[in-house]
Amino acid sequence: MVDIVFSIGITALAGALATVAGAAEDVESDIGSQGDPNSQVQLAPQMGYIHRIYNKAIAGEPPAWGLWIALGAGIAWAFMVMQLNPILAIVLGAGLATFVQGVYSTTAYLGRTASLSKFGQPVYIDIIKSMTTVTMAHAFVAIFATVTICYLMNAALGHPFPLPLLGLVWGIALGAAGSATGNPYYGKERQYQTQNFGAGVPISASGNIVRYAEAGERNSLDNGFFTAKLGGPASGVCFGLIVFLELWRTVLFENVGAGWGAIIVGVIIILIFTVMDRFIEVWARKNYGPYTKPTEETSS
Amino acid sequence: MSVKIEVIEGGIPHQKILIAGLVLAVIGLYLSYLNVLLGTQMFAFFGGLAAIAALVWGSHSIKILASYGIGTGVPSAGMIAFGSGVIAFLFATKFGVLAPIVAIILAAIIGAILGYLANEVLSMHIPVMIKSLTEMAVVGALTLMGFSAMISGSFTFSALTSTPTSVIGKLLAMFLGSPNAATTSFSLYIGGALIATVFLLGAIAIQHGFNACLGPGWKQDRMLMLTAECGFLSMIVAAVMSAALINPAAAILSFIIGLVGWYYTYMKYIELSKRDAASWLDAKPIPEVVEGH
């Protein structure tokens, strides 16, 4: 009984950490325009829209985050094997992984922007200076929280995988959660705020992303501020639920039917979510419907 | 589908980069084998240099392959390079001193099969597919072998699976999470999955060069310099991890070489970006663009 209570406590802690990690990951990638919204940032100068948005295309988010987390976990683990205190080891691992993330970000921005010289897109050094550090700060939070989750699974819940392998698996999951949940909010809402709601993005509007602010010019820090309100927390809830439900079903039902209990509960959870998603989709379609031309008001 | 959209103009021909990368990687791997011959670990850093040579070659292969209009899949090229390379690498480590040669041959066979499947079964029909996937599998295997030699001191199977019992205490039993862990033989590199970290370090490093530099203003020297920079950056963190497996002096030597190489290539890359950029501005507004696109 004590075992179950302890494990559920760890599960709750891991879920909370995952929520923080997911939120930080999404804001990081939105400030850097990583993931699918990147295509429009990359396209904009080619359509004549020179911008001051940070364009750090390192890879899709899942592989990139797979590396940051696996690297943080690998280094932390190497330090733990050298008899370093686990908390200190995780901090050092996350710190070094953040350094690698920062260097990759700068080279990605420089490379992409220099290759767009034909269209007159300048390299803004102040963007590198001010935005790389902000993405690194968010990345540190996400890496530290996720490596800690992996450590908790390994050391407290007795997961058989070693730390770097857990880091790889959960890093890819973290990147996928942020990419799937938070990015649409940045890519489809923020970048095309000037378009009519529900109008979609016609070809003629491709690359015409929001570049000017209420006063002055938009930069990626504004995008981080914008997405921190809904996109980031939504990604956090997504990744938090993934981690929490995954551990919860394992902790409670692993001993039912020689492990099959946990698998069956997992399938049931997926089915419940599928039904929920279907209801939300139908509800949204009914309420917002397809885009229709505004009916002309007859002036009387 | 298979319309070539970007042509490489000027620069070093691919054949030269291929031969240079292959030869340097094999030489580097055999120099790291001096560790075994001389009973030391100081030559571990040659493994990292071998990996960088292979990565530079691999990034140019990705450029060739991605010229055929599959530009959105650049990171996946890195994944398939290492996914196919890791099989050849692990099998080859069983062959002791012949490991690099066996890895090259086996990886080439695996890559060719994958290329054939992609081209004929999945009907992609990209002319360079088989050749490029063959090259990339070899690059993946050599890079993994290079970083493995750097982190664990040697690329042989026994070195990769041996337990440095002197540094590992009770902690391991906890990490493995099973009560029998203390009695089962345990390896830090493969069993401890440091290889998972190395896998992604290499897979991201190999694709980043082209993924970051693609576009109408692509330049060969800038891309290759960036890949070398990614390689040295990976070497720095690999050196930190190697401290758990090899003696501190060898790890520090790898670390310093990685740091110096990284600083040099990073500065060079910034210089090249400055050369190619339209303009280099600090806190300036968006310039007025002449209308008429």
With CB atoms and an 8 Å threshold, state whether A67 touches B201: yes
Burial class (CB in 10 A: 0-12, 13-18, 19+), B85: buried
Instruction: Test A57 with B281 for CB contact under 8 angstroms.
Output: no
Q: CA B159, CA B150: separation in Å to the nearest integer?
A: 11
Q: Decide if A103 touches B, using CB distance below 8 A.
A: yes
The Cα diameter of chain B in Å comes to 74
DSSP A205: G
Q: What is the pLDDT of residues A125-158, one digit of tens each?
A: 999 999 999 999 999 999 999 999 999 998 888 8
DSSP E strands in chain A: the ranges are 123-124
- Quote the CA–CA distance of A8 and A151 in Å, as a whole number: 16
Give me the residues of A, 217-276, that contact B with CB < 8 A: 217
Contacts (Cβ under 8 Å, ≥6 apart) of A155: A86, B174, B175, B177
B117-to-B78, B124, B130, B221, B226 alpha-carbon distances in Å: 18, 9, 9, 33, 31
- Contact at CB, B192 and A162, closer than 8 angstroms: yes
Q: What is the structure's pLDDT at B69?
A: 64
Taking an 8 Å cut-off on Cβ atoms, the answer to whether A110 and B269 are in contact is yes
- Residue A124 bridge partners (DSSP): B281
Partner-chain residue, chosen from A63, A81, A116, that has the shortest CB–CB distance to B217: A116
Read off the pTM. Answer: 0.91
What radius of gyration do chain B's Cα atoms show? Answer: 21
Residue A120 exposed, middle or buried by CB count within 10 Å (0-12, 13-18, 19+) = middle
Residues of A in contact with B293 (CB under 8 A): 47-48
A and B: number of Cβ contacts within 8 A: 216
Q: Per the structure block, which two tokens stand in for A172?
A: 């890819």
- Which chain B positions have a beta carbon within 8 Å of A79's beta carbon? 244
Within 8 A of B223 by CB-CB distance, chain A residues are 111
Dihedral of the alpha carbons of A97, A100, A101, A105, in degrees to the nearest 10: 170
Whether the predicted pLDDT of A94 surpasses 90: yes
Task: Tell me how far apart the alpha carbons of residues A229 and A80 are, in angstroms, rounded to a whole number.
Answer: 37
Q: Considering only CB atoms, which chain A residues are within 8 Å of B237?
A: 71, 75, 96-97, 100
CA-to-CA dists, residue B80 to A9, A172, B135, B202, angstroms: 39, 16, 11, 11
Contact B177 A78 (CB under 8 A): no
Nearest-angstrom CA–CA distance, B118 and B131 = 12
- Segment B4-18, tens digit of pLDDT: 545 556 688 999 999
The answer to whether the beta carbons of residues B266 and B229 sit under 8 Å apart is yes
A162 in reach of chain B (CB within 8 A): yes
A33 in B contact zone (CB under 8 Å): no
Contact B197 A118 (CB under 8 A): no
Helix (H) or strand (E) holding A114: helix A86-114
For residue B292, the one-letter residue type is G
- In a domain? residue B285: no
- Give the residue from chain B lying closest to A95, CA to CA: B237
Rg (CA), chain A: 22
CB contact under 8 A, B276 and A79: no
- Say yes or no for a CB contact (<8 Å) between B282 and A114: no
For testing the chain A interface, which of B161, B197, B213 should be mutated: the one with the most A CBs within 10 Å? B197
**Which residues are within 8 A (CB) of B163 and not within 5 positions of it... i.e. 6 or more apart?**
B185, B186, B187, B188
* pLDDT tens digits, B135-184: 999 999 999 999 999 998 888 877 777 655 444 444 454 444 443 343 34
Question: Do the chains contact at A70 and B200, CB–CB below 8 Å?
Answer: yes
Q: Which helix (H) or strand (E) holds A21?
A: helix A2-31
Query: How confident is the model at residue B116, as a pLDDT?
Result: 93
Contacts of A110 in chain B (CB under 8 A): 212, 269-270, 273, 277
Q: How many CB atoms lie within 10 A of CB A91?
A: 18
What 3-state class would DSSP assign to B266? Answer: helix
B4 within some domain: no
Q: Which of A54, A117, A132, A210 to mutate to test the interface with B (most CBs of B within 10 A)?
A: A117
Q: Do B191 and A162 touch (CB under 8 A)?
A: yes
In chain B, which residue ranges form alpha helices assigned H by DSSP? 14-32, 34-38, 45-66, 74-92, 99-116, 129-152, 157-161, 171-176, 194-213, 220-242, 248-276
Whole domain around residue B131: which residue ranges?
A: 14-276
In this complex, do A74 and B203 lie within 8 Å of one another by their Cβ atoms?
no
- Which site among B82, B221, B259, B286 would you substitute to test the A interface, given the most A Cβ atoms closer than 10 Å to its Cβ? B286
Q: Which secondary structure element, helix H or strand E, spans residue A107, and what is its range?
A: helix A86-114
Contact at CB, A124 and B282, closer than 8 angstroms: yes
Domain chopping of chain A, boundaries: 2-253, 254-287
Give a yes or no: residue B237 inside a domain. yes
Q: What is the mean pLDDT of residues A245-265?
A: 90
Q: Do A126 and B212 touch (CB under 8 A)?
A: no
Nearest-angstrom CA–CA distance, A247 and A243: 6
CA distance A23 to A177: 10
pLDDT of residue B181: 41
> Can you give the pLDDT of all 293 residues of chain B as single tens digits?
344 545 556 688 999 999 999 999 999 999 998 888 888 888 999 999 999 999 999 999 998 888 876 556 788 888 999 999 999 999 998 888 899 999 999 999 999 999 999 888 988 888 888 999 999 999 999 999 999 999 988 888 777 776 554 444 444 544 444 433 433 445 677 777 888 999 999 999 999 999 999 888 889 999 999 999 999 999 999 999 998 888 889 999 999 999 999 999 999 999 999 999 999 998 888 887 655 44
Task: Kindly list the distances between the CA atom of residue B60 and the CA atoms of A4, A213, B136, B141, in Å, as whole numbers in the listed order.
Answer: 53, 40, 10, 16
Residue B7 is assigned to a structural domain of this protein: no
B276–A66: do the CB atoms touch at under 8 Å? no
Instruction: Name the domain count of chain B.
Output: 1
d(Cα A250, Cα B282) in Å, to the nearest integer?
53
pLDDT for A254 equals 84
d(CA B211, CA B75): 7
A13-50 CB burial, b ≥16 within 10 A, e <16: bbbbbbbbbbbbbbbbbbbbbbbbbbebbbebbbbebb
Instruction: Reduce the DSSP state of residue A49 to 3 states and report it.
Output: coil
Q: Has residue B5 been placed in a domain?
A: no
ipTM of the complex as predicted: 0.90
Q: Note which residues in 121-150 of chain A have CB less than 8 A from chain B.
A: 121-126
Encoded tokens for A54: 């940070």
